[in-house]
Amino acid sequence: MQRTDALASHFRLDLGHQKALKRLGITTVEELLYHLPARYEDTGDIQSVAGLEKGSDAVVYGQLSDLKTRKAWKSRKPIAEGYVEDGSAKIKIMWFNQPYLAKMYQDGLYVKVAGKVTGSEGKLYIANPEVERLDSLPIDRSDSIFKDTGEADDTLYPVYRETAGVTSKWFYHTVLKCFEKGVLEHLVDPIPKDVLDRYNLPELKTALVWIHSPKKATDAEAARKRFAFEEVFYIQIQNAQNKAAVNAATTYSFKTAPDHIAAFTSRFPFTLTNSQDTAITEILANFSGNHAMSRLLEGDVGSGKTAVAATTAYAVATSRPDTEKDWGNLQVAYMAPTEILAKQHFESFIEYFHHLPIQIGLITGSGCMKFPSKVDPKRPTKISRAQLLKWVKNGEIPIIIGTHALIYKSVEFKHLAYVIIDEQHRFGTNQRKQLAKKDARMPHLLSMTATPIPRTLALTIYGDLDITLLDEMPAGRKPIITKIIGPGQQNDMYEHVRSELAAGRQTYVICPRIDEPDESKATALRLKSVKAEAARLQKDVFQEYEVGILHGKMTPAEKDKTMKDFSDHKIDILVATSVVEVGVNVPNATNIIIEGAERFGLSQLHQLRGRVIRGTHQPYCFAVTESKSDKTRDRLKALATAKNGFELAEHDLQFRGSGELYGAKQSGLSDLGMEAIKNLKLVEAARSEAQGLVRRCPDPADFSRTYPLLTHKLTLLGESLHME
Ligand code: ADP
Ligand code: MG
């Protein structure tokens, strides 16, 4: 058996099976082997029903049967009862005074049952047991495939991520069969041996055996560490190769005089913060260097990223290409994730540039604009797409702002020297490539984000970018007051908001969903929906104020209209989902109520509340939770005390499970990879090893000859990222 063999050529797979595996991205033996267990369970504490004795604390796994309720013989009190059966025997379970319990479970359900064994010999039962539903039964010790060597530790079995049609057990057994068929014999480790040795990581064959059928917990741990390292290592090689490619390309190199910049920034109605100054200086230094810049500008909402973008765009738009003597200018493309944001950037840029003879274009899916208009030099005007494209192509429009519409093939530039990308997570670098498609030179890249990212994640997914932090808020901003609102505290909150509305302010209300879900889920999850909550607030709470709604299922035109109405203060209270675009700027909105706050990561909550810190009035954030758990409230309290978003992101990473980390989904990391980034040492090791490897072998063709297996892995990684 070879790693590249199709699973179907060795195992009988019916269509349902094949489909299910495909959903998990598994068609080959290799992909199966890399479908790693999500966790392990210890069968050491599982007892067989046949062996249960009176008075013992039992934990058994089995199937439920004969569930029913009846009245007790003498007392007439209700009793719920049934049986649990595990293959060795069955035993009765009884709950007293809890007749509804029998109705909560169904016959045939797989369960874990824990409780005290009572009754008399021959009539044993488990009294008032705790019952936990299971997707499948664990592999028990009598299972033939689970070779019990009698060693105390030999009780770990893996639990795999399942999908409808494939069970965890199937994965386990099939992987073991692959081992038996000798797949390991032909496997060559893609990671160089010296790298593994330096960090004491098990080599591939050992690691596969250890991760799929560990004899000891420490073996499983070591194997997981190896695969985590492997994943980060591949990403870091890709980062290093990207960086090498950028460094090898020619770019636009130009110098800007400090006076020239000062003439632009001195007109701002504010002084730049130190971190804005530093950011601008770093970027201008990159412009005058030999390699294209690749930089990430990270700063909370309101930290002034747009001012940095505008100033550096000014430097570009007022520089001449070195191929022209006395005419022409370099160009800037500024890409935003949504139409609303693209328009907002367009308007901000008009503010920054209106005194200059510099034209600005806007291109989105729903139309094009240009500033200034020929008729009224103070205003923008609508123009045709064809006209705009023509002026971009001949270089007449130096600054062009837009959505994804910017990367369509038809958009061509004359001298694209600078690409600014807002909130695109990992993919800013790809967009630069697409934008620069027909240009011989590599434009400089500034990727901007308000998403607070922990250092390890940034090092991994932005590994090829230099990072600049805007970690300082402009002077004069009032720090936000954040309150955690528990059950029964809503009224005070509404009274506060009412007084704010009376004083002329506006409010956001964020809800976890759009529509009222079906009854059962609504009560189970108690999630407020945008539509229902808006109706309730209008009818019962804020009759005298105008309530509007905004959510992701509205068309761009509807969204625009609502945002405009909110910004014109025709709407007082905007009820929205959390997808409301980051960075939408309505300075008069100074209150934000976040319903179901416990469902969000802290860094996401931080980003949501960032929407209300734009103005000069005191901002407030109310994080509303129905949860009575102290743990939840304590976690939310960090919101009130953390100094900035980065602190909260680290908090999320360590305490909440990295899978829920904001921005994690876009990162393309697996669950194990996300686990890995909790470990700074591991990430740094993988990074420096990858950089070393690429430094010694910078030519891509050379690299793929020297490391064919690594190259194969990188191709797979590239494909999976492309699929998103
Ligand atoms: P970001 O894009 O980081 O969210 P913006 O660049 O949109 O932030 O700035 C937010 C607001 O703060 C804007 O109204 C801008 O004019 C203003 N601003 C930017 N820099 C400063 C500064 N140094 N001092 C005072 N106000 C500033
Ligand atoms: Mg912004």
Euclidean distance between CA atoms 457 and 453, whole angstroms: 6
Coil, helix or strand at residue 478: coil
Q: What is the pLDDT of residue 723?
A: 38
Question: 301 CA to middle of ligand 2, Å?
Answer: 6
265 lines ligand 1 (CB under 6 A): no
H or E segment and range at residue 129: strand 123-133
Question: 469 CA to middle of ligand 2, Å?
Answer: 14
Q: What is the pLDDT of residue 519?
A: 46
Q: What is the pLDDT of residue 44?
A: 67
607 lines ligand 1 (CB under 6 A): no
Among candidate residues 438, 417, 428, 440, the one with its CA nearest the CA of residue 467: 428
Q: What is the pLDDT of residue 516?
A: 56
Coil, helix or strand at residue 410: coil
Q: What is the pLDDT of residue 142?
A: 45
Q: What is the pLDDT of residue 163?
A: 76
716 lines ligand 1 (CB under 6 A): no
Residues with pLDDT less than 70, the chain: 43-46, 136, 138-155, 425-429, 437-439, 514-527, 579-584, 615, 655-668, 718-724
Asked if residue 311 lies in contact with residue 349, where contact means CB atoms within 8 angstroms, the answer is no
Question: 377 CA to middle of ligand 2, Å?
Answer: 26
Q: What is the pLDDT of residue 602?
A: 87
Of all ligands present, the nearest one to the C-alpha of 302 is 1
Question: 410 CA to middle of ligand 2, Å?
Answer: 27
463 lines ligand 1 (CB under 6 A): no
Which ligand 1 atom sits nearest the alpha carbon of residue 476? 25
Q: What is the pLDDT of residue 522?
A: 43
Atom 11 in ligand 1: residue holding the nearest Cα: 302
Asked if residue 138 lies in contact with residue 46, where contact means CB atoms within 8 angstroms, the answer is yes
645 lines ligand 1 (CB under 6 A): no
Q: What is the pLDDT of residue 718?
A: 67
Chain CA centroid to CA 494, Å = 32
Atom 9 in ligand 1: residue holding the nearest Cα: 304
Which residue ranges form the domains of the chain, and what is each CATH number? 1-46+147-183 (no CATH), 51-133 (2.40.50.140), 254-289+304-449 (3.40.50.300), 481-642 (3.40.50.300)
Q: Please identify which residue in the block is written with the tokens 């409230």.
A: 633
Asked if residue 88 lies in contact with residue 49, where contact means CB atoms within 8 angstroms, the answer is yes
Q: What is the pLDDT of residue 141?
A: 42
Atom 18 in ligand 1: residue holding the nearest Cα: 304
Question: 459 CA to middle of ligand 2, Å?
Answer: 23
What is the best residue among 270, 422, 448 to mutate for testing ligand 1's pocket, by most ligand atoms within 8 Å of CB? 270
Atom 20 in ligand 1: residue holding the nearest Cα: 304
Asked if residue 33 lies in contact with residue 214, where contact means CB atoms within 8 angstroms, the answer is no
Prior bond of 454 cis (ω within 30°): no
Q: At what angle do helices 680-696 and 217-248 cross, to 10 degrees?
A: 50
Q: What is the pLDDT of residue 144?
A: 36
Of all ligands present, the nearest one to the C-alpha of 471 is 1
Euclidean distance between CA atoms 143 and 126, whole angstroms: 25
Coil, helix or strand at residue 143: coil
273 lines ligand 1 (CB under 6 A): yes
Q: What is the pLDDT of residue 622?
A: 96
